[in-house]
Amino acid sequence: MPDSTKEMRTTGSNNGQLHAGVARVDVTPEPGCGLGVINQIIPEPPGGAYTDHRQAAHLLKSVLLEALDELTGMSPEELITHRYEKFRRMAEPSDWSE
pLDDT in tens, 49-58: 889 999 999 9
Residue 14 banded pLDDT, cuts 50, 70, 90: low
SS3 27: coil
Rounded Cα gap, residues 86 and 91, in angstroms: 9
**What pTM did the predictor assign?**
0.56
DSSP 26: -
Of 15, 9, 62, 16, the closest CA to residue 40 belongs to 62
Chain centroid, CA 40 distance in Å: 8
pLDDT tens profile 59-96: 999 999 999 999 999 999 999 999 898 888 877 766 55
